[in-house]
Amino acid sequence: MKEPNELLGYWTCPQGGRAEVFQTKKRGNHFYTRCKCCGLNQGTGAERQQRIYDEAQFKPEVTFKVPSNVKPESDSEVHEVREVKALESDFDPTAEPEVSEPEPARPIISGGAKTGLALLAFSAAVGVAAWMN
Ligand SMILES: [Zn+2]
């Protein structure tokens, strides 16, 4: 049986095997792999295709097309951007709390100050009384 597609390189498959990487000439230009542990795997899922693209050791002399569902930039970069965006949206629940904070804070502060003064006066009185006895 003739091998119609060129061996592009090698990829460590999910089972830890050394998979040969080929590329289909069909629409989508998806990678497919072949290894002893998994056999022929022609899965065209974007995650799998991206992993092969990012992780495979491609032979320097071969040329291949980027599969239709693979982003040419590094996969980790894409994930980082997504994570930062998610965090930003989590920590930015509108400016509402900042606006409403000063008003209820004022009576608490003055009340606390009064209590503090009263306590201070009380302890001073107690101290004076103790000193006087
Ligand atoms: Zn395998």
Query: What confidence score (pLDDT) does residue 46 get?
Result: 97
Cα-to-centroid distance, 35 and ligand 1 (Å) = 5
Is the Cα dihedral 63, 67, 71, 76 positive or negative?
Answer: negative
3-class DSSP state of 19: strand
Cα-to-centroid distance, 20 and ligand 1 (Å) = 9
**What is the full per-residue pLDDT of the chain (133 aa) written as tens digits?**
565 789 999 999 999 999 999 999 999 999 999 999 999 999 999 999 999 999 999 999 999 999 999 998 754 555 555 555 555 555 555 656 555 555 665 555 555 566 666 777 777 777 767 767 6
Cα-to-centroid distance, 40 and ligand 1 (Å) = 9
Helices (H), 28-101: 46-55, 75-90, 96-100
Helix then strand then coil, % of the chain, to nearest 5: 45, 15, 40
* Residue 6 zone, left/alpha/beta (φ > 0; ψ -120 to 50; rest): beta
